[in-house]
């Protein structure tokens, strides 16, 4: 199965899970008198729309290179990540606003059984986070990483809601708003996760070269090619799940143009064979001193 298809299946899994959880949280919050659960359901519902955006971005990024996009469409992936971060910020703002409104208005305390619902949700969201994050690392996908942190932020809000409801239930009268305060604490964690998702995606759009391990691997493989004496500049740009490379290689300065050309092609083929995640590989031949 191709990387793009595997990524798309992962997002569809997230969409189905988030849609089901949004319904469960809302019903449990409505009948269990817990605004923290209702706020949590709002975030899960926004996560469904965010997953749809990620799915659209992955499908577009998987398009092959064409005349107008010689390097492919991979840059669509971090752009979609920005939209996902926007959804996270909207959900954080929504939860914060409704929590403050609820704190100012007296309301009944949450029911005991909502703790059981939240416990099951927390376990499920953490499992989902670990699974999607592992996929994002395997596929080197920034949008899948954003999708994974959606699950973690959802788990965090659920943990905050759990402790808030716990205090409200066992604290009794006067502690009814504890789950609303817990929702406000969760907002801070969500905004922190927004930064963690946004920063790498911004670096990808700006062609930030921080691929230290991949650079070292490229240099190591290059020296195994016959005729390559050393490497000089090595620039890497990430576009979706593909890495484009510009590499300067030193060869014997007495070689003919054709011989240098053959070494360049041999080097290019060797790198692509050993590192399938590479896209365009541009080799610049330098005469060795």
CATH number of the domain bearing residue 162: 1.20.1510.10
pLDDT, mean over the chain: 81
- Same-domain check for residues 181 and 236: no
> 149-162: per-residue pLDDT in tens?
777 777 877 787 78
- Same-domain check for residues 22 and 145: yes
Please give the residue that has the higher pLDDT: either 2 or 30: 30
φ/ψ (deg, to 5) at 234:
-145, 105
Strand partners, 236: 245
> 16-34: per-residue pLDDT in tens?
887 888 888 888 888 887 7
Average pLDDT over residues 119-144: 82
Domains in the chain, number: 2
CATH number of the domain bearing residue 218: 3.30.70.1350
- Same-domain check for residues 176 and 216: no
Please give the residue that has the higher pLDDT: either 80 or 286: 286
pLDDT at 224 over 90: yes
- Same-domain check for residues 20 and 148: yes
- Same-domain check for residues 199 and 223: no
Domain-terminating residue out of 205, 240, 264: 205
- Same-domain check for residues 30 and 164: yes
- Same-domain check for residues 145 and 28: yes
pLDDT at 222 over 70: yes
DSSP string, 90-143: HHHHHHHHHHHHHHHS--PPPPTTHHHHHHHHHHHHHHHHHHHHHHHHHHT-HH
- Same-domain check for residues 177 and 253: no
Q: Is 5 exposed, middle or buried (0-12, 13-18, 19+ CB in 10 A)?
A: exposed
pLDDT at 247 over 90: yes
Domain-terminating residue out of 148, 176, 205: 205
- Same-domain check for residues 118 and 246: no
- Same-domain check for residues 59 and 185: yes
- Same-domain check for residues 253 and 201: no
- Same-domain check for residues 276 and 197: no
> 225-239: per-residue pLDDT in tens?
999 999 999 999 888
For residue 148, give its domain range: 3-205
Q: Has this prediction a pTM greater than 0.75?
A: no
Residue 281: which residues within 8 A CB-CB, separation 6 or more? 244, 245, 247, 268, 271, 272
Q: Find, among 52, 44, 13, 77, the residue nearest to 186 by Cα.
A: 44
Domain-terminating residue out of 190, 205, 220: 205
Q: pLDDT-derived band of residue 283, with 50, 70 and 90 as boundaries?
A: very high
Q: What is the pLDDT of residue 83?
A: 81
> Which DSSP helix (H) or strand (E) runs through 273?
helix 257-274
């Amino acid at each position: 199965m191709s990387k793009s298809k595997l990524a798309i299946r992962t997002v569809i899994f997230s969409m189905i899970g988030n849609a089901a959880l949004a319904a469960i949280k809302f019903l449990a919050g409505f009948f269990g008198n817990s605004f923290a659960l209702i706020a949590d359901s709002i975030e899960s519902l926004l996560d469904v729309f965010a997953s749809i955006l990620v799915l659209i971005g992955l499908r577009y990024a998987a398009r092959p290179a064409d005349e107008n996009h010689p390097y492919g469409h991979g840059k669509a992936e971090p752009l979609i990540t920005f939209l996902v971060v926007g959804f996270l910020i909207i959900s954080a703002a929504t939860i914060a606003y409704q929590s403050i409104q609820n704190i100012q208005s007296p309301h009944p305390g949450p029911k005991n059984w909502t703790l059981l619902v939240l416990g099951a949700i927390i376990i499920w969201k953490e499992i989902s986070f670990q699974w999607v994050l592992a996929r994002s690392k395997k596929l080197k996908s920034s949008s899948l990483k954003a999708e994974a942190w959606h699950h973690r932020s959802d788990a965090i809000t659920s943990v905050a809601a759990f402790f808030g409801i716990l205090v409200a239930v066992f604290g009794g009268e006067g502690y009814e708003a504890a789950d609303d305060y817990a929702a406000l604490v969760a907002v801070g964690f969500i905004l922190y996760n927004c930064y963690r998702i946004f920063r790498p995606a911004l670096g990808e759009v700006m062609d930030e070269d921080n691929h230290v391990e991949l650079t070292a691997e490229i240099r190591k493989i290059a020296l195994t090619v016959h005729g390559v004496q050393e490497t000089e500049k090595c620039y890497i740009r990430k576009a979706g799940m593909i890495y484009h490379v510009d590499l300067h290689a030193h060869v014997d300065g007495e070689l003919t143009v054709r011989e240098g050309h053959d070494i360049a092609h041999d080097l290019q083929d060797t790198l692509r064979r050993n590192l399938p995640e590479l896209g365009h590989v541009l080799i610049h031949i330098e005469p060795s001193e």
